[in-house]
Structure 1
Amino acid sequence: MSAFLLGIGFRADMGTCARKLVLLKLIDACEDDGSRIFPAISTIARAAQCSTRQVQRELKAFLDIGLIRLVREGGKGPRSTNEYALDLDVLQLLGKGGWSLVAGDRAENKGDTVSPFESEEKGDTGDAPRVTPETDKGDKLSHPTPPDPSLDPSVERERERDRDEQKTVERWLKRVHPTWPTFIADSGKTAFAAAMALTPAEREMAADRMADYLAAEKLTKGRCAFGVYLSEKRWERLGPKPEAPEKPSYAPAFGPVWAAIRMRDLVTGPKAQPSPLKGWEERAIAEGTLNRDALERGNRMRTGWPMVNGLHLAAETRGLGIHSFGPEEERLGKLCEFVPVDTECWEAWKLEHQLRGWPWLPDPGTMRGVYFPVGGPGGLEAFEQAVRGQHDAGGREAAE
């Protein structure tokens, strides 16, 4: 694009908006010397916001006055376009004097037409009396059509809105009415008139409460036509619609709430004493093939935190999280942060689990990390205080 030529194009009075926009698009596609212009007709039409036929007429007009010249004719394929070049002298004249100076007395070609008139006489040539006095402008042989009140734009717009409303109601009835028990015996005209008298919001409410009304009808053994249901707005007799039950909450595995529930169970201590070592384990320890501390630590991990081990198993085998939790767990989840796998913080948490004898996490699979309390192992004290605060609040509520 040439900024210098674009400035001339903006100053040029081209006579019509479409012609001006076509010129600006050609300048946008050319070099500083006005050469190498080969955008597709459809591309120019999109930029100028006009039809492809309009672009073709404007390009022909530009060729006629010498504003552009054909450098190379394109082929017949969809991607083969003509190449043009701007005549900078003609462009300068347009910038100074506008289209009328350059085009002179050439006939204007405005609007989208299928084909131009070839005869010199245009318009109506009948001998009907003129409605308005003849002026020096326009076609002297034509007479304007007398105004028709039915063509008043405001009236036509109102009629169009009415037709659209009728179509909307017809589609609504086709969707809703067939589900009414008395549909076959109902009067379609009555139902349509009743639906037309409703506002869109009332029609939406009528359809939404229809099932509730029919369920109540079964109890009272009452039944009415659909038109009566609409005209009397019988859904209003039902009172306010009951609120839908809340969807059960779900915490995905390794997420913040899942991690908060897991860590809460760990920091509150083991839930059961470890089982004693078995006879074969004692013999293996005596023989030196097994380590007592390792066996006891494994027993404590398995029996001390059954809920945590259940979370690990569900996450590892089926990718399941926790299907129900409350606001307390949600608040604890906000105290957790994302810790990427194999980072320094990740290794610190693994070491903390070993030191405290806690069961470590299963393989998170494709997860890039897991949530832990904010601040690493050093932040566990703040997390434990939050857990104890919840427990204390729960105990006080129970006592009260």
Structure 2
Amino acid sequence: MSNPRFSIIPAWIVTDGRLKGSDLKVLCLLGTHTNKEGWCRRSQVKMAEQLGCGRSTVQDSLNRLADIGAVEKRKVESVDGRDSAHWYRVILDRALSSNAFSAWEADDEKEFGPISGASAVAPPAGIPAPPAGPEAAPPAGSGPAPINDSSLTSNLNEEERERDRNDEGEENPKALEKRFRKWWSTWPTYATDTETTTRRAWLDLTAEQRKTCEYRTAEYLAAAKASGRKFSKAAATYLSERAWERLGERTGSAAQASSPEPYTAYSRAGRALLLAELLKPERHLTLNPIEQKIIEDKPEKRDLIWRDKREKQGWPEASKLIETTQQRRRFNVPARIVAIGQSFDKVKVGGDVWQAWQRLHHRRCWPWLAAPEGLEWMQFPRLPDGIEDLDEACDMALGEFDAALREGRGNDNAA
């Protein structure tokens, strides 16, 4: 695992809203040194030196990555009780053989044996560790990359893939496994599903059912997203229930009518999708050790810390829509939500109604989409007539919007 050229990490983690600070850098560093089973043994002190940060920063990131489900930790107990580098696994949905650690220990013990008393001392919090030396990194060798895992990146060229299809046959185990992994990687709960159960359900299907499943899964996911419901169906459940069969046959005109269009959250349709995401249940959150320590030392900061955490992490899909809009990019909005948003009103930025909507977001700890310089109007649900209290009017308008969403969800046949 010396002179690594690549870092192998799961793709889903890159856009996860729970990442903070140096989390992704720590994960990439682990992925740089991982073996083909996903494990590596690293010293937190050395990692901090490589990243130019304190050991506590690395430790916090490792704890957070473990909580998210991107990293698994295995503690190493040294004979004399001194601190020793631990094993870390960048989770790649792989089963580990029982004797794997014994095989790896012999190779890595020399470099990652018990840490001496002098090197085990962590730098004080807030003070970065010394930067890496100025010498240039060694050039990439002429040999193959250190990780060559066919389940992550295929090394087959197009001619070989064609040979698999023509000579070996469609139901050949090798080709079938490729199809399974390609399909499974597109499923929303891929990162948390059990591989063995999902593969068994896949193999239980007939050849024709697998073809239909591959063809209609994207359509099923689009219909489920358009319904506004939180997606939680495991891949194995979807396969065993053959849920795609409940979609029914759709005509070309119907499919065209439900095709999404690109918008930003400054538009009626974009704002409608943003509010639809905010009206979904809040993600379950827990405090990390640093936040718990701050609250223990200064209880008066409890509400402030929880508010900040909820606004940033409580509704990750809504936060992504806000970030996409602020980056001047567009996103797709289901036709049903586009239609509901057509009744929204233009609201003067900085005006009384705009401020009332801002207060509503603050009361609910929702993330707020700020207006960029030069934007005069933003879109919100139309306020009911005859209500003088703007805060009450905004609450009622939001309730009417939620009722319209629920009415549409009741007609969904893909859940």
TM normalised by structure 2 equals 0.33
Between the two structures, name the one with larger relative contact order (CA 8 Å, sep ≥ 6): 2
- TM-score, with normalisation over the residues of structure 1? 0.34
Greater helix share, structure number: 1
